[in-house]
Structure 1
């Protein structure tokens, strides 16, 4: 007897299936799943960062997951490019492919399509793709358990810091008190999005981006100090020999409160020499170039290119090449999340509603790589009458259409035939010709559609030209005489209008040629009928 299996291929106990509505990983005010998290990015040093990464690889990922969230909140560029990568996949079309053309498999696919229209999966894609930065994401499934319609009604995002890895360093488990509990297979969608091979905690983009962010934060701090010291003038206040202590205090408060901290107070008889830093302008450019360089490295890490985030020289061709790189990454992301949605959502929905199956429909996310739909429809329309056979279900899957209603022809692609032409009021309806005459008419039509013999056509053409030569000669002589006598083009037009040409001879020739062609055609039809 077949049983429901989880994402690891293990049977699901019947007792756990009955707890579909229970919320397993809800946040707690006090405990291991608090809403408020720590901020290890404050005062981060290279030594502390290395310690955080080492602890995550050894089974304690809390600080690393908090740091990944901190970086996304603090770094404008990283937040922009990681959001671009997630949104480029979250807005892709979602389709369902049936396991086969069998009636039950088509029914399963239609059931999934009906659930997709609720927008539950579409609304949760952005949160599922949080695995791009952290290596994995966890969504808790809130089920609706109506009879015959057991489907997810909401996918709740659960922060990764509430989870850890098992002793194998790769299996995601739930933190519960001082212990780690395995995830209920019917309650969670665990999406892994490795950007490198290895353990899940070492496969996220945040692990690499954290180093660039730390160095960038150092540069930003140095840049701020530089701007504060060299970006505004130094104020010097001078007082005379008769100035009292109260006067000097007023002067000091004045120069100190104008702007910044660079202020001084000296007697009027004293002299202070200010030596200007000649490379101050170059120094400010150095900080900017370092920050821009680190941002470009983050763009390469997340998007695989830099043109879509920074305006660089190279023209339209370079932009097109960089866009193709981003589309390759988008396609790979979509395939990974399609596998997760099929195995951990689609198969479970079908199994809960129709029982365990040997084959399940597939959920596809992304732009189709096949021929564009317009070309497919045009090819079927043109090649169908020539003998091409295409399964109707395949065309419906490509177009995203559902199966026809019960009682209709399942292979019908087009709609109803056009209504017959109605006879005008008062006209008598003509009875159809007898079957023998209909067959004869079809035979005549097919013979007329065939290509006549080339020698017959050539002989008729030559005969017509020979007969018309004499008739045309007289007409052409009159026209040529008027052309030589005319003084200009307008005069020639008036002379042509005044000619009285005799078309009788030419009309006789054309009529004789048409009669000969008609008789020749009838003779060929009779020959074909006798030969057939």
Structure 2
């Protein structure tokens, strides 16, 4: 049998054991990363600077691009809100860890241990951190390992800033940790969740959604700045001060201060002999800037959520039907995100834990992580339409109903809800347990701890009435199996009526009526 250390080296490489004892970012070679501050490349951003940042990223330097993307999400409410919504829609889903198909006892135990570990961490935070890969194209979360006896387990993963990483100069798809070398430090096996999120096609530097959003972000900032300048210049009336020909420089300066003060404070004083005139504010067109900003808003919503009507940036003529179409497109993106998160969690967490603790070497036999993205039907609509469809002869499997309704199927021996019992047609009648006169009198005059006579009457009437009607039910059930239509059933019931046994039922009804009559007379005598 292969030893645990040999198995670790075989599956994950020679440096894998280091990650089980310490975090790579604690290494002295990369310690300077924790002392870095963001440079905020959005300051003074223009088309030339943006092009340089994107080009540098393609050549391996991801730092400026990563910091630009963080600034965009922080400063632009549209980008921040829509990306946050897309991440949250996946994070709020119920998660599940299951063994692979045809699992043996060892694989089932691996799934149980993984589910127990995940119950102890914040899975929603993990999904939100992985969701940063939508904009950047990737996300690296550092793993910390704990130990319980011989069992290894992961603790809450930590998202590391995207600016800490770079691309290997010889491989555009290999992400390394920035250190003092030209290539960067390779990430330790077992030490990271290396999530690659394919929001768009391309290699690592170009697969982030923020690459698509950078230009609308820049254009909208230009339009917003121009609009603010327009409002500042054309939103106020011009103020002109007039001074006499023999005015001194001091008097001119005094007049200028008064003009400025009137613009800011709407109050001021001027020397005698001078005058002020207010001209009507010049008219400027703000609609051209607003049109540019609206286009940028819609472009960002389409890129992030697949449409505008789920982002609040649509036109006023939107219809509910169009909104439903956009929502279905958005749901397709959420399902794709959920599958990609599950793939990274399975590859970087579940398989390593299964291999370390249970010796499972094949990733395909490791436990599987799922986020429930199933859409359930409206229960009220389903309950109204399904009986009609079934009555038409449709053969609908039970698993389909559970899937569409979202109601789980009860396990063997599990307590389940039961339908409410139909009221007996004899519930209003009263029948004594034994001879009517003697039994009723005994219960009326006896100890109050004994059962009420009315309850005993109802129980006996239901029991004996059901027994008397059972032959009727058997005849009618057999008849329903024979006929082919409701009309035929109606005609056959009319024919069957004379042949139904009524003697037992008539006897039960006679006794019930007699008991009820005697009970009523007794109540009158006792003054009830």
2:156 is paired with a residue whose SS is strand
What pairs with 1:4-403 in structure 2 (closer than 5 Å)?
A: 11-13=11-13, 16-17=16-17, 19-26=19-26, 31-32=32-33, 34-99=35-100, 100-166=102-168, 167-178=170-181, 179-240=183-244, 245-259=249-263, 277-278=282-283, 280=284, 283-310=285-312, 312=315, 313-358=317-362, 359-368=365-374, 399=408
Deviating beyond 4 angstroms after TM superposition, the runs of 4 or more aligned structure 1 residues are: 1-5, 26-30, 240-245, 260-263, 265-278, 369-376, 397-401, 444-450, 452-455, 457-465, 512-518
Superposed CA deviations along residues 281-320 of structure 1, whole A, max 9, x for unmatched, are xx11211121111111011111111112225322221211
Residues 19, 127 of structure 1: alpha-carbon distance in 2 compared, 3 angstrom cutoff: closer
Are 2:237 and 2:278, in contact at CA under 8 Å, matched by a contact in 1? no
The alpha-carbon deviation at position 97 of structure 1 amounts to: 2.0
2: CA distance, partners of 1:112 / 1:158: 24
1: CA distance, partners of 2:110 / 2:204: 33
Q: How many residues align?
A: 423
1: CA distance, partners of 2:496 / 2:31: 108
Are 1:236 and 1:266, in contact at CA under 8 Å, matched by a contact in 2? no
Structure showing greater radius of gyration is 1
TM-score by length of 2: 0.68
1: CA distance, partners of 2:4 / 2:84: 36
Residues 324, 389 of structure 1: alpha-carbon distance in 2 compared, 3 angstrom cutoff: closer
What pairs with 1:405-420 in structure 2 (closer than 5 Å)?
A: 412-415=412-415
Are 1:241 and 1:267, in contact at CA under 8 Å, matched by a contact in 2? no
Residues 168, 18 of structure 1: alpha-carbon distance in 2 compared, 3 angstrom cutoff: closer
Residues 174, 4 of structure 1: alpha-carbon distance in 2 compared, 3 angstrom cutoff: farther
2: CA distance, partners of 1:333 / 1:150: 28
Residues 117, 244 of structure 1: alpha-carbon distance in 2 compared, 3 angstrom cutoff: same
Are 2:151 and 2:357, in contact at CA under 8 Å, matched by a contact in 1? yes
The alpha-carbon deviation at position 39 of structure 1 amounts to: 2.1
- Greater mean deviation of Cα atoms: 343-352 or 14-23: 14-23
Residues 3, 238 of structure 1: alpha-carbon distance in 2 compared, 3 angstrom cutoff: farther
- Greater mean deviation of Cα atoms: 361-370 or 79-88: 361-370
TM-score by length of 1: 0.67
2: CA distance, partners of 1:301 / 1:206: 9
2: CA distance, partners of 1:34 / 1:307: 43
The alpha-carbon deviation at position 197 of structure 1 amounts to: 1.9
Residues 177, 245 of structure 1: alpha-carbon distance in 2 compared, 3 angstrom cutoff: closer
1: CA distance, partners of 2:80 / 2:136: 13
RMSD over equivalenced CA pairs, Å: 4.7
Residues 33, 513 of structure 1: alpha-carbon distance in 2 compared, 3 angstrom cutoff: closer
2: CA distance, partners of 1:220 / 1:51: 23
Residues 249, 360 of structure 1: alpha-carbon distance in 2 compared, 3 angstrom cutoff: same
- Greater mean deviation of Cα atoms: 356-365 or 136-145: 356-365
Superposed CA deviations along residues 35-86 of structure 1, whole A, max 9, x for unmatched, are 3022222222222222222221122222211211121222221111111111
In structure 1, the residue matched to 2:511 is: none
Are 2:241 and 2:277, in contact at CA under 8 Å, matched by a contact in 1? no
Long gaps (5+) in structure 2: 419-448, 451-470, 507-528
- Greater mean deviation of Cα atoms: 232-241 or 154-163: 232-241
2:154 is paired with a residue whose SS is strand
The alpha-carbon deviation at position 131 of structure 1 amounts to: 0.6
Are 1:25 and 1:158, in contact at CA under 8 Å, matched by a contact in 2? no
- Greater mean deviation of Cα atoms: 15-24 or 330-339: 15-24
